[in-house]
Structure 1
Amino acid sequence: MTRAHQHTSHPAEGDHHPEHGHGGHRKHDDAGQAVILDLDAEVLAEHIASITAWLPLESEPRRIVDLGCGTGAGTFALLDRFPGAHVTAVDTSAGHLRLLREKAHARGVEGRVRTVRADLDARHWPDLGTPDLVWASASMHHMARPDRALTNVHELLAPGGLFAVVELSGFPRFLPADAPESRPGLEERAHAATESFHAEHVPHRGADWGPMLTVAGFTVAGERTVTVDIEGKHSEAVGRYAHGSLMRIRDVAAPALSPEDLTALDELLDTDGPNSILRRDDLAVRTERTVWAAHRA
């Protein structure tokens, strides 16, 4: 097992906010989720590229499946990394797939992308070909039956093919520990207030996928954790990413927050207010992203 730490997407983690994941099924509105997914791709682009460059492939893949592709962060990173490859992008959201196709057309790679709308929690998946590489970024933890999904991937892959499971260790953090000035530590308390929700609705978030991959018949070839620590002082995108992320956890966290914390959170989310998170110059994106790479035996 290889574990590397470096400063070089999330996710953010989704529905990562809360749980905007690139998962097989979504409960949140497509439009708001798409904005977060696009910001995730923009802010964490270097980290996604570093993971695609690390993958322990025996040869360059020609056929790739992106499971729970969202609006295409992984799809386009993989197309960039493997210029001879074609990607089948799979998601349950018609809106996300439409945006992905529009991006593919704008980039001139529409001939290398096929989109498939499918529920990855279904027992039987549509025909996705016989890929050399299956990529699942922030999607596996959304599966109601991850064991069944792993079996489906194992049957899908070409002999010797690679399955890459990419997950964030948790929600990104953006504020310093002593912020905001009126309620230091607010961000951690807001995230803590969502824990029971996530324990009930996404119990596989934060799981160790290595043993589950082995049980499903894969041979784990490597595991790597990339530390994300991006200074946002000069990045408008980081501010919008922080705002969108905290906005998406606000309703889940609100019942467990004190009135003072909720007021301070709403002040951060008020884009026109003097305490808006968009006005801060001390933001950063801090999280970890782990990838498990496993071969079909």
Structure 2
Amino acid sequence: MTHTHAPHEGHHEHGRHQEHGADSGQAELLDLDADLLAEHIAAIAKWLPLKSGPRRIVDLASGTGAGTFALLERFPEAHVTAVDASSGHLQRLREKASARGVGEHVHTVPTDLDDAAWPDLGTPDLVWASASMHHMADPDHALRTVRDLLAPDGLLAVVELAGPPRFLPEDAPADRPGLEERVHAAADRLHAEHVPHRGADWGPMLTAAGFAVAGELTVAVDIDGSRNAAIGRYALGVLQRIRGAAAAELAAEDLTALDRLLDADGPHSILRRGDLAIRTERTVWAARRG
């Protein structure tokens, strides 16, 4: 089941269906991601090589609406169809749309994008797929389905992350320097089998699915977290999720050190650190029907 996009790997979020209890926790993390990286999402939306302002947009695996609201900010006359497997995330998206006064511009469709047949999503001028394509069981099928949906001059934007963000300095924590990289490496070994398209070059896959690539952009993210408590909460949430995937692969000393960081009330909690940052990259491929 293709699920909502998220800023990290580890539970796993959009590849497999969530239990309801985890859904709200993921939604909070998606909201933090949207708020903290809003400037970078806006930069991608501004860059899109569109021939005219889109009137009909589809946001695939929309989550709680990071892409939906960035696109409506950029294209206020547009109407967005937000598609996600999580009814809880779509409910949160609708509530946010209402609070922002754009409820009439947003339509939500609950669906599993791994299904062979998708519901009627109209004929969009723009399809936005952020951190979702690499979770598709059959990404070629998904890309060809999008190609058939698009208006003749329509654009597909595939936005992907270079893996989960990093937060700690390389020499942290003092007793286990380099811990974060080892945690990510352990999770990557497991995800290589289950999420083989993470980190892929989507250009050739777009071409094979009948698209012509119109542009590619990589946006570097490097945000100082020393004055923003939300970055600590974001780091805690991301690393808690990654721990679930990496724990069995970690040395006992690394797992102990990680758990000290993840103890929100402990003296070594990541929430108490003043040296955090958000470091990652996002790449977008823009493509039209070939």
TM tier, shorter chain?
A: over 0.9
TM-aligned CA deviation for residue 122 of structure 1: 0.8
Matched, 1:171 2:200: no
| Count of aligned pairs | 284
Amino acid at match of 2:195: V
- Identity, in percent, stands at 70
Aligned mates of 1:25, 1:193 — CA distance in 2? 19
**Alignment match, 1:3:** none
Contact 1:17 1:171 in 2 (8 A): no
Cα distance in 2, alignment partners of residues 186 and 212 from structure 1: 34
1:212-239 Cα shifts (integer Å, max 9, x gaps): 1111111100001001000000011111
**Any conservation in 1 of the 2:11–2:244 contact (CA below 8 Å)?**
no
Matches within 5 A, 1:211-226: 211-226=204-219
- The answer as to whether partners of 1:61 and 1:82 remain within 8 angstroms in 2 is yes
Greater shift in the superposed pair: 107-116 or 23-32: 23-32
CA contact (8 A) 2:155 2:286 kept: yes
TM-score (norm 1): 0.93
Q: Is 1:259 matched up with 2:257? A: no
- SS class of match (1:135): strand
Tell me, in whole angstroms, the C-alpha distance in 1 between the residues paired with 2:47 and 2:15. Answer: 25
Secondary structure class of the residue paired with 1:194: helix
Q: How does 1:5-16 map to 2 (within 5 A)?
A: 13-14=7-8, 16=9
Amino acid at match of 1:257: L
Q: Structure 2 matches for 1:1-297, cutoff 5 A?
A: 13-14=7-8, 16-20=9-13, 23=14, 26-27=17-18, 29-297=22-290
What SS class does the counterpart of residue 108 from structure 1 fall into?
coil
CA distance in 2, matches of 1:143, 1:63: 23
8 Å Cα contact 1:25/1:121 also seen in 2: no
SS at 2:158 equivalent: strand
Residue-by-residue CA offset, 1:14-33 (whole Å, 9 max, x unaligned): 3x34544xx47534621121
- Output one character per residue of 1:151-202: Cα deviation in whole Å (capped at 9) or x when no partner: 0000000001000000001110000000001110000111111122211211
Q: Which amino acid in structure 2 is aligned with residue 252 of structure 1?
A: A
Helix, strand or coil: the match of 2:71? helix
2:54–2:78 Cα contact (<8 Å) kept: yes
Q: 2-side partners of 1:294 and 1:86: how far apart?
A: 20
Match of 1:6 in 2: none
